[in-house]
Amino acid sequence: MDCKVFVIAVALLVLGACQTHGQVADNWNPFLVGGGPAVIGAYPAQVAVQIGTTSFCGGSILNQNHILTAAGCVLDANQNLIAANQLTVRAGVLTVDQNAPALAVNRIFPHPHYNPWTFENDLAVLRLTNNIQFPQAAVPNMAPAVLNHRIVPDGYTCQVVGWNWQVATQNVPLQVLAVPMAERETCNTEHNGLLLDSMVCTQLTTATHGVCTANRGGGLYCNDLLTGVASFGFGCGTNSTTTVYTQVRYFDHWIQQQFTRMDTPPAGPTPMPGVGGTGGGGDDASTISLSLAAIIVAIATTLSAFVLGDVCDKPKMKNSSV
């Protein structure tokens, strides 16, 4: 095989591998399968984060003008931060459709050390253009989440919340699915060692139930406290038996910092994981590992320089004596 063709083939394979990470949910996919209907006021912090006109993630109300979601929801397939005006938050309803109340977003604060290959620090805070006017009803349909700062033991039953898109009826009802906390060793094995201390994992008890990609960024509630933000392991009732969430208790300080930020992160390329950025890191998150992206770039660059520069375009050296 011609060496230039070989290098191009390697580059295409690397590009293809990279573009499988960080993509938002496809058009109107379900958030949950197998859940039961939620009642008004049970999960008033739950929102749907609409990306453009075709994709959705979950999210949680933090206060009058901030929403918590996953960092992977606000980056495109090339890890570029999307523009804030591409996001719309839909809140305060049990059924999501294009007529649901819409809240505009004017700033996006992704965690500066989010790693799309290990899902480390998978959090982002959205700042709304206008404040939410919380209803004064005894059972409000919109209210801030209360964050959980305690460890939840294995086997404890919590609830994951999201919408279940039903194509036949064009109906998107809010659903809740009871999920026990999984043993960390079991979860870590299933996800090839990706489970970090800053993550928590739930176990599915029925093969036909599950959390889907569209619920990334959605909330995991234990004792009505927001415990986790859905990150990866979305079997959607088909294969994966465990789903992994970012533990909010590890990032309480970082979340609070975003409330007073005055800068506006621009849309476009984001720093490599571990390089740094504005906004601080997680409170107790483990040391940021070198991004797989950096490794791939280094290997590809070295390979390209070696093959193209030293082999493809240079004649072979002849044996000679001096």
CA 243, 73, 87, 76 dihedral sign is negative
Token pair, residue 311, equals 């082999």
Which pLDDT score is estimated for 162? Answer: 85
Which pLDDT score is estimated for 201? Answer: 96
Token pair, residue 291, equals 């991004």
Angle between helices 292-304 and 3-18 (to 10 degrees): 170
Token pair, residue 148, equals 């959980």
Which pLDDT score is estimated for 310? Answer: 41
Which pLDDT score is estimated for 130? Answer: 96
How would you class 108 by CB atoms within 10 Å of its CB: exposed for 0-12, middle for 13-18, buried for 19 or more?
buried
Which pLDDT score is estimated for 264? Answer: 94
Written as one string, the DSSP assignment of 50-85 is EETTTEEEEEEEEETTEEEE-GGGSB-TTSEEPPGG
Angstrom distances, CA of residue 206 to CA of 50, 121, 177, 183, 220: 29, 29, 11, 17, 18
| pLDDT tens per residue across span 121-167 | 999 999 999 999 998 777 788 999 999 999 999 999 999 998 765 54
Q: How many CB atoms are closer than 10 A to CB 23?
A: 17
What's the CATH code, domain 36-259?
A: 2.40.10.10
Q: What does pLDDT average to over the chain?
A: 77
Q: Tell me the longest C-alpha to C-alpha distance in the chain.
A: 93
Which pLDDT score is estimated for 29? Answer: 54
Which pLDDT score is estimated for 11? Answer: 40
Which pLDDT score is estimated for 308? Answer: 42
What span, in angstroms and rounded, lies between the C-alpha atoms of 29 and 167? Answer: 9
Which pLDDT score is estimated for 235? Answer: 81
How would you class 209 by CB atoms within 10 Å of its CB: exposed for 0-12, middle for 13-18, buried for 19 or more?
middle
Backbone φ and ψ for 248, nearest 5 degrees, come out as -70, -25
Which pLDDT score is estimated for 249? Answer: 98
Which pLDDT score is estimated for 182? Answer: 95
* Nearest alpha carbon to residue 248 among 270, 217, 226: 226
Splitting the chain (322 residues) into consecutive groups of 10 residues, what average pLDDT does each group show? 44 38 45 77 92 88 98 94 96 75 94 96 98 84 95 96 63 84 94 95 82 88 97 79 95 98 90 47 37 41 42 39 35
Which pLDDT score is estimated for 143? Answer: 94
CA dihedral defined by 185, 189, 194, 195, rounded to 10 degrees? Answer: -20
How would you class 244 by CB atoms within 10 Å of its CB: exposed for 0-12, middle for 13-18, buried for 19 or more?
buried
Q: What is the pTM of this model?
A: 0.77
DSSP state of 147: B
Token pair, residue 175, equals 């659903």
What span, in angstroms and rounded, lies between the C-alpha atoms of 38 and 184? Answer: 28
Which pLDDT score is estimated for 284? Answer: 37
What span, in angstroms and rounded, lies between the C-alpha atoms of 163 and 77? Answer: 24
Which pLDDT score is estimated for 173? Answer: 78
